Structure 1
Amino acid sequence: MNHQQEWLNSCVDEQVIELNVTTLEGMSPCEHLLYSDELPRRNDGRLSNHILQRYQHTELGGWWCSGIDVMSGEDDLWGCFKPKQPRLSYDRGKPIKYEHPPQTPTGIFALRVPLHLWATIAQQHGIHFTPEMIDNTQVDGGFWQWVIAHPSIPLCITEGAKKAGALLSAGYVAIALPGINNGYRTPKDEQGKRIGKSYLIPQLKKLTSGQREIYLTFDQDSKPNTIKAVNNAIRKLGYLLS
């Protein structure tokens, strides 16, 4: 299945797919993933062999998704890659479905939004969409800066880029986290012991200011452990958002 059909099957608008999802293969996936200065390198600056071997499976191809950096309004360097042939995790031996750039803070998926969906979202919130609202100096036309400037528009926070795409396609303003616990940071020492209070990641803090209504739209699940984990994440994130 090609990436476009996979996203269409998740009820994502075709233009949303075209604006945010790209097929990659060969060395291109590694170029998108392995950009952190914290990754181990040889004396000549080349990535160490064990890192290159770990991500060798990505050469077979897959799709990459990234959106907008809401802090700058520019294209986001961070994103995720879904390989055609995933590697297995070291600890549990399960396929790693999505790869994110290692040794770099996780971000959010604030996807680029086509004009027809922007107009739909504006209309649903009593705002008349006009061409003057488009900021051609912004790579996304200024959609996310417009959202930030209108705290009366509710925001959905979900998990996974495709779910954000589906919500946007249905006319909801939505961003996605790569995981249910990635909306906040908890300071820890080298031994993993907590040394400070948890706090929202900067992107969420910027998007959720101004008394904006927030909806946490994580998946439902029948597994008790997953239900507990999701409820804990909702409780923690909800507290930090309040």
Structure 2
Amino acid sequence: MQLAALKNAIEELLPQAQQSLEDRFGTVDRFVQCYAYHNASHGRDVGEAAASLAERLVEAGRVRPETVPLARYAGWMHDQVQGKGHERLSALLAVANLRDRGVPSRHVEAVRSMILATRVQGVDTETYRILQSADPDDLGQALLADADLSSLGMHKGPLLTLLLHLEQQGLGGKVLLPSPSDGAGVEPDRDATVQYLTFQVNLYDRHRYLLETSRSLFPHQESNRDWTARMLERYQTDRITYSMMLRAARMRAAES
């Protein structure tokens, strides 16, 4: 399959990937089933971040041009399914879609490998690291793993951090999130929130992307750390509620 044909096949698949995520999980402004973070907005973010990373690696002569559309599709598809084993199930869905379009096996395998690389093996609360399955020496795996965590270095990162906490609390049955919702007016458990935001401040401070390219493409970790630390201090001293933090984060994100 020529590059142009591959691009066309991917472009034809992307609307389906987007619509599927929106129907089941919504977006950050109107999320469904508690999925305040893992929704179509996250799919778009990861897909476009992965494509941007791939483009820079192509320019540097480190990957082939077909990596760009493949990475974009892998990003959109990596969380198509949620729940236990969702990376494997999402990869299977992506593989089936690509095969239906006649995409060569080597490209199908590349997408499958990228998606599986986003699996979180654990969270190290001592070193403040999110441990992923990606092989750092495999550029396809590394770029998608970095794209999956690109929110840490995006200007809108604090908004996504707050939404992820709501998602975790909602899925855990700790808070009631109306569906659809934008999270306004929801106040999660105070102690859990302080613990979560403290971890996030340290994660912003210590996380290091696998690729140097990612560090330049997602450069806002320091400012995100500082903003989140200020909000945490105000929250702990009862000068702000979670809803107020979320509203402030949405306003900050709109400035980018």
Please report the TM-score for the alignment, with normalisation by the length of structure 1: 0.30
Tell me which of the two structures has the higher relative contact order, counting C-alpha pairs closer than 8 angstroms and 6 or more residues apart: 2
Higher share of residues assigned helix: 2
Higher share of residues assigned strand: 1
Please report the TM-score for the alignment, with normalisation by the length of structure 2: 0.29
